[in-house]
Chain A
């Protein structure tokens, strides 16, 4: 009998050690399985060292609930870039994405987005991420040490946010930031942006790219946006209100 109790206790300890907090996760929590985490830099500049993360229970957040339904396998349906191959999500990567979503304003978590996909390498490497209506694609390079994952995700969510705006809201953004329709030399009509005042050069290509760059900067580098494109800064501030900012987590 003594041996039996000793054996049972041993088995219980082993199970707990092997499965971490599975047994102990309370309602309102979820299990983060043990994984190796590479070193990275948080959006606020904090350096996070490489380590082996043990399984633990984490409090459920809206960001987690939002993302768990959306992490998808394979390639998005009708994805136009056929040479881009699917990759698998790791626990490390999904945790990093959840961490980023937790710091972003909830208004960016669009219900229209149905899938966050993981592909290997962009056809336009080193492009770290892409989007189309309802879909976000994350490539390997998003997780490079030199990349700011928060800004990457904020930028892609901003593309969707623009698509989700009403027709009048889109018009109002274009009005405020100097986008106008023009007849050009090839007899076609194009949206042409203001002459200067772009936080990133590629904002000149389309108002949607401009919008995404500006929203990303409003959240992560507001001083630059205020200095370079004050009209966009004011529009975003008025449109989203004071709560539209990064939520710095206490860790």
Chain B
């Protein structure tokens, strides 16, 4: 961890002048991987990535969002604990021209990881969709969300395993389906 911290400091010193957000369009996985979960601070993140597109807050966390400058699509979200302001989670959404878009390459980026395949069955009773698949290594704090039907990586998450992650705002399995129960006579 110490060694990683020194490496990061060296990396940051090279980036420290670039804090204007002008590198929003040049987000890349190498920069993201240079951040250290549980160690990096918001200043470190700003030094490497520039200013975020947006900032949101929820249940003890705040999240810096970096969206694609051309399309506005989500590219990167970084969670910080509100109190300590330590980086507690990174969520990277690769594009199709990036190597980690492939599951094999994404997994290869975590050499010591031991991924478990987790299948989330589709619960929608009236729209049958393919199951969602994730590969999770809880020990190292890595989750790869994989779209099996398209054979692509949707997202790569890295998080501090010692920190409680934000809970879902609403339990989806408790939301009733409405089945389009609108009255037939509307006029």
Measured between alpha carbons, how far is A152 from B172 in the docked complex, in Å?
23
Q: Does A204 contact B (CB under 8 A)?
A: yes
Main secondary structure of the interface of B (DSSP, over half): loop
Judging by beta carbons under 8 Å apart, are B71 and A41 in contact?
no
- Kindly list chain A residues whose C-beta atoms are within 8 Å of the C-beta of B167: 184-185
Partner of B128, one of A132, A171, A202: A132
Question: Per-residue CB proximity of A205-219 to B under 8 Å, as 1/0?
Answer: 110110010001000
Judging by beta carbons under 8 Å apart, are B166 and A182 in contact?
yes
Q: Does B176 contact A (CB under 8 A)?
A: yes
Q: Does A183 contact B (CB under 8 A)?
A: yes
- Kindly list chain B residues whose C-beta atoms are within 8 Å of the C-beta of A205: 123-124, 172, 175, 177
Q: How large is the interface on B (under 10, 10 to 19, 20 to 34, 35 or more residues)?
A: 35 or more
Measured between alpha carbons, how far is A195 from B58 in the docked complex, in Å?
11
Judging by beta carbons under 8 Å apart, are B73 and A171 in contact?
yes
Partner of B176, one of A146, A202, A206: A202
Judging by beta carbons under 8 Å apart, are B124 and A206 in contact?
yes
Return the chain B residue nearest A132 by Cβ.
B128
Q: Does A129 contact B (CB under 8 A)?
A: yes
Judging by beta carbons under 8 Å apart, are B157 and A189 in contact?
yes
Q: Does B83 contact A (CB under 8 A)?
A: no
Within 8 A of A (CB), among B50-76: 65, 67, 71-74
| B22 smallest CB distance to A (angstroms) | 22
Q: Does A120 contact B (CB under 8 A)?
A: no
Judging by beta carbons under 8 Å apart, are A175 and B118 in contact?
no
Measured between alpha carbons, how far is A190 from B133 in the docked complex, in Å?
11
| A227 smallest CB distance to B (angstroms) | 15
| A127 smallest CB distance to B (angstroms) | 5
Measured between alpha carbons, how far is A159 from B128 in the docked complex, in Å?
10
Within 8 A of A (CB), among B117-132: 118, 120, 123-129
- Kindly list chain B residues whose C-beta atoms are within 8 Å of the C-beta of A133: 128-129
Additional 5 contacts, C-beta under 8 A, given A123-B125, A155-B180, A181-B77: A126-B179, A151-B182, A167-B96, A181-B93, A192-B168
B positions within 8 Å CB-CB of A: 65, 67, 71-74, 77, 79, 89, 91, 93, 96, 118, 120, 123-129, 134, 136, 138, 141, 143, 145, 150, 154-155, 157, 159, 164-170, 172, 175-187
A positions within 8 Å CB-CB of B: 40-41, 44-45, 47, 80, 122-124, 126-133, 145-148, 151-152, 155-156, 159, 167-168, 171-172, 175, 180-185, 187-190, 192, 195, 200-202, 204-206, 208-209, 212, 216, 220-221
Residue pairs across A and B with Cβ atoms less than 8 A apart, 7 shown, are A124-B125, A124-B179, A159-B127, A171-B71, A181-B155, A189-B134, A216-B180
* 9 tightest A-B CB contacts, nearest first: A45-B187, A132-B128, A124-B125, A41-B184, A189-B145, A130-B126, A185-B167, A148-B184, A200-B178
